[in-house]
Amino acid sequence: MTKETGNKTKGRRGRLPLPMPMLMLMLRLLLLLAALAGFAACGGRSGGIDGIEIDGGAADAATGISADADAAPASDAALAADADAAPAADIIDTAIHLNRRQMEEALAMAKEERWAPHLKEAPGGDRIRCLTLPHHLPAAGLTIHALEELASRQEKPGVIILMGPNHQNTGPAAAVTSASWQTAFGRVEPQKEIIAALTGAGLVQESSACFPKEHSLGMVIPWLAKFLPDTAVVPLLFHYQYPLKDLEKLLAVLEPWLAEDGLLLVSVDFSHHQKAAGAAEKDQETAALLEKGDWPALARLSSDYLDSPTLVAAMVRYSLAHDLAGPAVMAHTNTGRLTGIAGQEVTSYFVLAYTEKEEEES
């Protein structure tokens, strides 16, 4: 080996250890960046709900409700925390959907006179057996008025069977969770006896993963904590067009609790992806089917009409089987009318109630 060759070899050998610390540093940086990206993905929210993009500033001006739920005050959890809190793994925090500031703004907004045109007369009868509520932030005032009415009644629900669409269609086709729900107005607890009956019958699967980010329940449960505190819930999520025959089996298992003091609460928004005129036309068709009780036709509707057709169809069929009065339309409107923003695609809302028929006087 020549001296020149030996020096070159020596030079290469001398440099070999140098890149190793740099490679380790680069690897650590890449791992850190990946972790940060994963954190952002878990905590982030899309700019719209149900595929409807609403500018945050416009929503603020039109509805009076701040659209950025991630701006929740740090004290929200402290305000609502229980002294003997359950382990963190058993708690779903709803602050990413509705924080205390947003709820206070919505409560103040719902008292304004401009909401009156969107509301209808409350149904008769003491007990509301079935109810639909929207899960869209601009429609929070509709939910407030409906639950205020429910809470004012002599016969309040002892348990709420809360059904909502799984917008991402992730996890089991029919999912339930035994987790507690932390809200700005306190803790909402699951009714574990009913959950055990459903899972034991093989009709639903316990799976908490799809619940924290699903707004169909996350936008409703905080209002249950506000107006019906200490009322347990059975939170259920269903894939789109979940089979009606399976829903009927599920309702049969739920019947003892529903008959006693349960409320069947369906979280549903109606017409999607339509301009105001198209939404009005779709709503008119849906309203006609609801009035006729044509649950098979309702089950066949697309998301142009409503985002959970089989859930609504199952509720209508249940109401007919139990000779309930309704549907009473407690509210009907859309995002265009609520926000005053013209020209956009809108989501429409019905608040529907089915009640026990009043006994006729002899």
- 311-337 pLDDT per residue, tens: 999 999 999 999 999 999 999 999 988
| The predicted structure's pLDDT at residue 114 | 85
Report yes or no on 89 lying in a domain: yes
The pLDDT of residue 39 is above 90: no
| The predicted structure's pLDDT at residue 102 | 95
Report yes or no on 204 lying in a domain: yes
Stronger pLDDT, 197 or 71, i.e. the higher one:
197
Straight-line distance from the first to the last Cα atom of the chain, in angstroms, rounded to the nearest whole number:
119
| The predicted structure's pLDDT at residue 8 | 37
CATH value at residue 102: 3.40.830.10
Q: Report how many domains make up the chain.
A: 1
| The predicted structure's pLDDT at residue 308 | 92
Q: Of the given ranges (81-90, 270-279, 323-332), which has the lowest mean pLDDT?
A: 81-90
Stronger pLDDT, 349 or 62, i.e. the higher one:
349
Beta bridge partners of 325: 355
Report, as an integer, the average pLDDT of 17-34: 49
Report yes or no on 72 lying in a domain: yes
**202-243 pLDDT tens trace:** 999 999 889 999 999 999 999 999 999 999 999 999 999 899
Give the confidence band of 339 by pLDDT, cuts at 50, 70, 90. confident
Report yes or no on 36 lying in a domain: no
Report yes or no on 29 lying in a domain: no
Report yes or no on 207 lying in a domain: yes
Give the confidence band of 43 by pLDDT, cuts at 50, 70, 90. very low
Report, as an integer, the average pLDDT of 268-272: 93
Please give, one letter per residue, the 3-state secondary structure of the chain.
Answer: CCHHHHHHHHHHHHHCCCHHHHHHHHHHHHHHHHHHHHHHHHHCCCCEECCEECCHHHHHHHHCCCCCHHHCCCCHHHHHCCCCCCCHHHEEEHHHCCCHHHHHHHHHHCCCHHHHHHECCCCCCCCEEEEEECCCHHHHHHHHHHHHHHHHCCCCCCEEEEEEECCCCCCCCEEECCCEEEECCEEECECHHHHHHHHHCCCCEECCCCCCCCHHHHCCHHHHHHHCCCCEEEEEEECCCCCHHHHHHHHHHHHHHHHHCEEEEEECCCCCCECHHHHHHHHHHHHHHHHHCCHHHHHCCCCCCCCCHHHHHHHHHHHHHCCCEEEEEEEEEEHHHHHCCCCCCECEEEEEEEECCCCCCC
- In this structure, the number of other CB atoms found within 10 A of the CB of residue 34 comes to 10
Report, as an integer, the average pLDDT of 131-145: 95
The pLDDT of residue 41 is above 70: no
Report yes or no on 191 lying in a domain: yes
Report yes or no on 121 lying in a domain: yes
* Segments forming the whole domain that contains residue 126: 60-355
| The predicted structure's pLDDT at residue 124 | 81
Give the confidence band of 345 by pLDDT, cuts at 50, 70, 90. confident
The pLDDT of residue 160 is above 80: yes
Stronger pLDDT, 157 or 357, i.e. the higher one:
157
Rounded distance between C-alpha atoms, residue 49 and residue 33, angstroms: 28
The pLDDT of residue 74 is above 50: no
Stronger pLDDT, 10 or 245, i.e. the higher one:
245
